[in-house]
Amino acid sequence: MVMPAHPPETVNAYLAELRRALRGAPAGLISDALADCEEHLNNEITQNPELSETQILASVVETYGTPEEIAEEYRDMESTISTPFPKAEMPEERRFGFFNVVSDPRTYGALLYMLLSLATGIFYFTWAVTGLSLTLGFAILIIGIPFALLFIASVRVLSYVEGRIVEALLGVRMPRRPPSESATADGIWTKIKEAFSDVRTWSSLFYMLLMLPLGITYFVLAVVGLSVSLGVVGGSIYSLITGESHIQIQEAPYLEHLLHTAPGLLLLAFVGILLFFVILHIARAIGWVHGKIAEGLLVRL
């Protein structure tokens, strides 16, 4: 192992070098790597109270590895882990063709997420508003501080659960390491300070509040889009088979007459199919955008 010219002398310096070495990797991978290394380094410090932090870091670099080596190991491990959305090997222009969206598993994951988002959005919003209200209400009582810490811990757990849902359905790498208490937090006041100064506490709360309008929007787009497109196709096929068309357009009698003929019904079915593919593209785009939102608000770096 090649020793660095200036090995890190503190835990924060080691983590900063590891973060630089992992630059460009998924945020969820960086978060897991930093959390694992911070826990390992703090455990080493706790188990060797007679040594200085600089001495412990020098020993860790020799046994555990340099930040660059650890970063390379995490990248290698990530490349060997199977995901529900393997990278497609077909050319970019074919993979992102208009009709190829039907073969992309991310499309259906995003559609399922959009359908579930109404329920999760209502739950997250209710939990966040109720928790904040009770925390402020209990602030003047002796149970205020324990309740606030418990509520913040619940927000972290829900953020982790949401991250697992996002990764499973949207294919965005999120933290796979369950939330844990900081090993450096000594005493109740230190825990309170760390909890309220952690930007991810507030960004996670904001995400939970944001999920209500987003969930309503996603659900309406998915349900209305699928219902209209599939309804148009199904209605057109039914009319072609039975010879009965109940379409009435009083403002455009010529168009109404066209839709009572076989060519008109075939055209209407084709429009419905095109609309269905448009909805699939919208779902995939929403999945990509929401993945970036979740990554930015829920992942702690």
pLDDT at 281 over 50: yes
Model confidence band, residue 2 (pLDDT cutoffs 50, 70, 90) = very low
pLDDT at 217 over 90: yes
Interval 14-33: pLDDT, tens: 888 989 999 888 889 999 88
Between 50 and 211, whose confidence is greater?
Answer: 211
Quick: pLDDT tens for 158-177.
Answer: 999 999 999 999 999 999 88
User: What value does the mean pLDDT of the chain take?
Assistant: 83
HSE-up (13 A, CA, CB side) for residue 6: 3
pLDDT recorded at residue 247: 66
248 vs 290: which has the higher pLDDT:
290
Whether 140 shows a pLDDT value over 50: the answer reads: yes
Element holding 263 (H helix, E strand): helix 262-298
Determine the Cα–Cα distance for residues 282 and 287; give it in Å rounded to an integer: 9
- Alpha carbon distances (Å) from 52 to 37, 185, 218, 227: 18, 19, 54, 66
The pLDDT assigned to 101 comes to 86
**Site of tokens 């991978």:** 29
The answer to whether the pTM exceeds 0.75 is: yes
pLDDT in the model for residue 183: 47
CA 49/CA 38 separation, integer angstroms: 17
From 131-140, 211-220, 233-242, the region with the lowest mean pLDDT = 233-242
